[in-house]
Amino acid sequence: MDGNICIGIRCGSFSFAEIPYSFSYIVGVTGTLQTLSDVEKKIVEDDYKVKVFTIMPSVFGSNKRKFAKEADVYVENKDDYYKIIAE
DSSP string, 41-86: HHHHHHTS----------TT-S------HHHH-----TTTHHHHHH
Which region among 19-23, 62-66, 83-87 has the lowest average model confidence (pLDDT)? 62-66
Q: What is the pLDDT of residues 2-28, one digit of tens each?
A: 667 777 787 888 888 888 888 888 777
- pTM for this prediction: 0.47
- Is residue 39 scored above 80 in pLDDT? yes
Q: What are phi and psi of 28, to 5 degrees?
A: -160, 140
Contact 26, 48 (CB under 8 A): yes
Instruction: Please report the pLDDT score of residue 1 as a whole number.
Output: 60
Which of 71, 17, 77, 75 has its CA nearest to residue 48? 17
CA 76/CA 82 separation, integer angstroms = 9
